[in-house]
């Protein structure tokens, strides 16, 4: 989306105070997330070898930043987009029992991002993954997990209010679950983002289910790779998909803000189906996919939660560059400066 400059933007905190509070938010959130979901921290890679199938393909068109490794015969490595598949492999390697999982601080570079208030080429998020039983692969389990994560986000919003009473809470007490097909049926003449906008204005916070799967009009709400989230399995609500996005209403920018993408992961059956739907059956020969198709990886649920986006939302900032250090087009920096939006 284009850069948004809010009218009469009121910066809630000075940059020095912001820097200190960012640490408090990150320390507190990851501790509470780990407690609620029974996760333990692990160390994450910044890059993986090309050709393993481990990197996140996002929408399938984004180019990873890559480089040759001299001491490995110039074998190619690539900066991660996210750790969606790497985490599941780690669950199996560590033999983590159902009901328990792991999380990590994930840092990535997405050079093809269109830079604006919400998007940066530098991505920082909590990537998490949890082992489940095959019987847990259902919508009720997904919704229960989403509610726990949303509860932690609400806790953090209240914590910020206690620290800075002029930053008043905006989130509703409960998150609304809704399928992307329901949004299409309600607002068939709107674009997917416009539908999200209508939904978050009405409910304040939604978990939008079925991201990546085909809708009744033949379109998809948004892109999702075929080899981590399960967006094609029929669910208990009569639609398709066991994944979704946590989206909240951002009052500063007057629009939707996605805080998390997550879901129950593909089974061998849904992986085969989704690879065929996307026309990339050749991935089945990659090491990660071979292992999954052979039943060597545990059933799991997982996702990513944007660290900078969460800080931006909780501190009511207008630009993600107010809570992370990155690079931006000069005209964007100047437009923000004139509006009192100080980028780090």
Instruction: Cite the active site residues.
Output: 56, 110, 125, 245, 258, 261
| Helix H or strand E segment including 272 | helix 268-278
Return the structure tokens found at 197.
């906008």
Asked whether 66 and 97 are in contact (CB, 8 A), the reply is: no
Asked whether 97 and 65 are in contact (CB, 8 A), the reply is: no
Q: What are phi and psi of 194, to 5 degrees?
A: -65, -35
Using a 10 angstrom Cβ sphere, with 0-12 exposed, 13-18 middle and 19 or more buried, the burial of residue 93 is: exposed
Task: Determine if residue 336 is left, alpha or beta; phi over 0 gives left, psi from -120 to 50 gives alpha, anything else beta.
Answer: alpha
116: helix, strand or coil = coil
39: Cβ contacts below 8 Å, ≥ 6 apart: 33, 100, 101, 102, 103, 128, 130
Strand 122-131 to 255-264 pairing:
unpaired
What is the distance between the alpha carbons of residues 164 and 154, in angstroms, rounded to a whole number?
A: 15
What is the distance between the alpha carbons of residues 104 and 39, in angstroms, rounded to a whole number?
A: 10
């Amino acid at each position: 989306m284009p850069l948004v400059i809010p009218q009469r933007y009121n910066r809630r905190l000075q940059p020095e105070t912001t820097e200190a509070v960012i640490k408090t938010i990150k320390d507190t959130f990851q501790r509470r997330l780990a407690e609620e979901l029974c996760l333990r921290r692990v160390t994450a890679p910044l890059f993986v070898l090309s050709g393993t199938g481990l990197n996140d393909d996002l929408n399938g068109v984004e180019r990873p930043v890559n480089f040759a490794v001299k001491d490995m015969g110039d074998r190619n490595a690539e900066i991660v987009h996210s750790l969606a598949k790497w985490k599941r492999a780690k669950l199996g390697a560590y033999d983590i029992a159902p009901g328990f999982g792991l999380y990590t601080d994930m840092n990535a570079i997405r050079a093809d991002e269109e830079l604006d208030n919400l998007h940066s080429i530098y991505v920082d998020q909590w990537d998490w993954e949890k082992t489940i039983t095959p019987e847990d692969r259902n919508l009720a389990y997904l919704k229960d997990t989403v509610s726990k994560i949303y509860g932690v986000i609400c806790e953090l919003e209240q914590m910020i209010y206690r620290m800075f009473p002029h930053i008043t809470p905006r989130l509703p007490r409960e998150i609304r679950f809704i399928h992307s097909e329901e949004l299409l049926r309600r607002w068939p003449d709107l674009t997917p983002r416009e539908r999200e906008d209508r939904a978050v204005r009405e409910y304040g916070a939604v978990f939008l289910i079925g991201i990546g799967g085909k809708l009744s009009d033949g379109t998809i709400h948004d892109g999702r790779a075929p080899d981590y989230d399960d967006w094609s399995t029929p669910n208990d609500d009569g639609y398709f998909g066991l994944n979704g996005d946590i989206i909240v209403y951002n009052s500063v920018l007057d629009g939707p803000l996605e805080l998390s993408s997550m879901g129950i992961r593909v089974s061998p059956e849904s992986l085969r189906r989704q690879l065929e739907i996307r026309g990339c059956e050749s991935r089945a020969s990659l090491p990660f996919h071979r292992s999954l198709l052979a039943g060597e990886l545990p059933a799991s649920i997982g996702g990513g939660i944007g660290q900078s986006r969460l800080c931006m939302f909780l501190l009511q900032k207008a630009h993600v560059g107010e809570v992370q250090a990155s690079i931006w087009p000069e005209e964007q920096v100047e437009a923000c400066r004139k509006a009192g939006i100080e980028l780090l």
